[in-house]
A = this chain, B = another copy of it.
Amino acid sequence: MAGRPRSIDRDKVLDAAEGIVVESGAAGLSFEALARAAGITKSGVQYCFGTKENLIRAMIERWGNGFEAEVTAHAGADQSPRAIIRGHLAASRDSDEAEHSRSAAMMTALLQSPDQVASTRIWYTQRLAGLDMENEADRKAALAFLAGEGAFLLKAFGLIDLTQAQWAALFSDMLALAGEGKDKAPL
């Protein structure tokens, strides 16, 4: 019933895949290059992930889950929409260079095929879904969220270069804008 024990570490392969996208761009991610980077054979990659689309899906899922865990951790007990957004901002604020590279890699991989976008759209939409855009405080939170994502994406893509102090100051402003300190939304 049980066959040969698995010798390929899926996570390590996904790490290698991220590394490839970080260094060579999404276009450089191929089964062959991935196999070489992960120290296994092309067939091993195929066996683990089947198709390339599955591979990319696995990359994005793992990344999304990891970030989501950090967000909820930062959000703490209060899981209201605004608190989640502050958690998201705090998670972005605390992310280091490696995390930025990873995120950029995931984004580029994500944008490869429009099909992949749809599932991620839901993830983003839910962030903003709980906010009432008619309410000024909520709109400020949305603005802060967008600023955080803008900073995060541009930084991840390597399009802006901010010092650690500037980064911290900006996210401090964003958190303030998102209502840090005054937790309750006025409804």
Contact = CB atoms under 8 A, between A and B. Distances in A.
A112 interface: yes
Nearest to A122: B159
A3 to B, nearest CB: 35
Interface of A: 23-27, 104, 107-108, 111-114, 117, 120-121, 124-125, 128, 133, 139-140, 142-154, 157-162, 165-166, 169-170, 173-174, 177
25 contacts: A24-B114, A25-B111, A25-B113, A26-B26, A27-B112, A108-B111, A117-B157, A121-B158, A121-B160, A121-B161, A133-B166, A133-B170, A139-B169, A140-B173, A142-B170, A143-B174, A143-B177, A144-B147, A146-B150, A146-B151, A146-B170, A147-B147, A149-B153, A149-B154, A153-B153
A contact face: mostly helix, strand, loop, or mixed: helix
